């Protein structure tokens, strides 16, 4: 046997799934060799041999002859029993209350392991089986929790940081103020009321519906509005609606807004002009450099959170106003590490003194 016949690229070990086990059963009934089964499932043949031993049962035919056969359902049951027994030997296995808490926060409330542990500490909740963030990630990696895997996590690990370069201001928007002109208090997030806006559009060929997303830089507060299409007129309607809604407080709530150079945002004069006070300015508009989404990092990050619920390629025109409001509430009630595991709503309440209309509904 040559060395090529015995080489399989070994990736990080993953448990066989129930579907894999039924494939093995079918292939064995077709008299496929263990070596070929391993190749088809991209697993080492030793893994297949162990799996066959685990799932073997003894059967007696009509002539009372005993013979061993592999059964996927038997192997799957034995695997699940072993997982449960393994859990009991772990720290978390001694605290079913903690396990239930983690399961609910992870699956129902879509929180990350880091946020789950951070919020527990921030609220002073005590669990006997408490573990650190790294251990919780390890448990999920190893599928210690029955029915929970890395597939249930929105993001796995940290992505590589991209290198960016400065680009000149768009020729279409030379009269608008550049992000380079923003004061230090905005750059350094020293005060509340400075926002980043963007449009999230439908997939190609999926309609013209869009979302207008508003992210406050200091508190990470989020507002989401459904647009019939991503146009200057639609964006203008939302800005005017907000000014009428907040009235005298609008200029305090929206001290500045930073846009990208999308065509829907280029009419900076109309966006700055008050509809309640003729000839007056209601806010200050700035523009990021073209192709520099990192300059609106808060907004881009929170657009990613929206994508948990509305994946890229979706037809936004089919998303209901209630669904959009639910997503907005979820983001504003999601504990954030950067906020000391407080929620955006809690931070806004602290920053504005719970001023009427400035805070969303706090989740219980």
In a domain, 18, yes or no: yes
Tally of domains in the chain: 3
* Same domain membership, residue 98 and residue 61: no
> Can you give the pLDDT at residue 83?
67
Q: What is the pLDDT of residues 326-359, one digit of tens each?
A: 999 999 999 999 999 999 999 999 999 877 666 6
In a domain, 27, yes or no: yes
Torsion angle (degrees, nearest 10) of CA 350, 346, 223, 120: 150
Q: What is the 3-state composition of the chain as percent helix, strand, coil, each rounded to the nearest 5?
A: 45, 10, 40
Interatomic CA distance for residues 84 and 97, integer angstroms: 15
Q: Look at 363 and 297; give whichever has higher pLDDT.
A: 297
Strand partners, 177: 286
* Same domain membership, residue 312 and residue 233: yes
CB atoms closer than 10 angstroms to residue 130: 16
Residue-range definition of the domain harbouring residue 26: 11-75
Q: What is the pLDDT of residues 5-31, one digit of tens each?
A: 444 454 555 788 889 999 999 999 899
* Same domain membership, residue 336 and residue 290: yes
* Same domain membership, residue 325 and residue 199: yes
Three-state DSSP at 196 gives strand
In a domain, 83, yes or no: no
> Can you give the pLDDT at residue 169?
45
> Can you give the pLDDT at residue 57?
87
Please give the model's pTM, rounded to 2 decimal places.
Answer: 0.68
In a domain, 99, yes or no: yes
* Same domain membership, residue 341 and residue 252: yes
**For residues 113-135, average pLDDT:** 91
> Can you give the pLDDT at residue 141?
83
In a domain, 1, yes or no: no
In a domain, 81, yes or no: no
In a domain, 131, yes or no: yes
Interatomic CA distance for residues 28 and 31, integer angstroms: 5
| Residue at a domain's end among 123, 152, 181 | 152
Q: What is the pLDDT of residues 25-54, one digit of tens each?
A: 999 989 999 999 999 999 998 999 989 988
> Can you give the pLDDT at residue 8?
46
């Amino acid at each position: 046997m040559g060395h090529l016949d015995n080489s399989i690229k070994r990736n990080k070990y993953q448990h066989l799934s129930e579907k894999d086990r039924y494939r093995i059963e079918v292939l064995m009934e077709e008299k496929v060799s263990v070596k070929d089964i391993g190749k088809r499932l991209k697993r080492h043949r030793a893994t297949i041999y162990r799996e066959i031993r685990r799932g073997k049962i003894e059967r007696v035919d009509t002539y009372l002859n005993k013979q061993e056969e592999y059964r996927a359902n038997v192997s799957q049951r034995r695997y699940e029993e072993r997982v449960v027994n393994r859990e009991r030997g772990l720290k978390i296995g001694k605290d079913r209350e903690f396990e239930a808490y983690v399961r609910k926060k992870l699956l129902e409330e879509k929180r990350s392991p880091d946020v789950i542990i951070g919020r527990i500490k921030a609220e002073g909740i005590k669990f006997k089986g408490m573990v650190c963030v790294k251990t919780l990630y390890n448990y999920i990696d190893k599928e210690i929790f029955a029915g929970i895997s890395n597939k249930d996590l929105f993001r796995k690990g940290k992505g590589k940081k991209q290198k960016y370069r400065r680009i000149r201001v768009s020729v279409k928007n030379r009269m608008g103020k550049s992000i380079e002109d923003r004061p230090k208090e905005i750059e350094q997030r020293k005060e509340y009321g400075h926002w980043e806006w963007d449009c999230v559009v439908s997939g190609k060929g999926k309609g013209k519906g869009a979302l207008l997303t508003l992210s406050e830089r200091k508190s990470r507060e989020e507002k989401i509005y459904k647009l019939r299409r991503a146009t200057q007129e639609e964006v203008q309607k939302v800005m005017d609606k907000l000014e009428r809604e907040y009235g005298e407080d609008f200029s305090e709530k929206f001290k500045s807004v930073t846009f990208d150079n999308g065509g829907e945002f280029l009419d900076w004069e109309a966006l700055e002009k008050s509809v309640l006070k003729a000839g007056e300015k209601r806010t200050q508009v700035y523009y990021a450099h073209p192709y520099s989404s990192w300059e609106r990092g808060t907004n881009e990050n929170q657009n990613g959170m929206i994508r948990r619920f509305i994946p890229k390629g979706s037809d936004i025109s089919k998303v209901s106003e209630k669904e959009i409001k639910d997503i907005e509430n979820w983001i504003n009630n999601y504990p954030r590490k950067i906020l000391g595991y407080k929620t955006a709503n809690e931070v806004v309440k602290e920053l504005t003194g719970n001023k009427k209309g400035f805070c969303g509904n706090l989740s219980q």
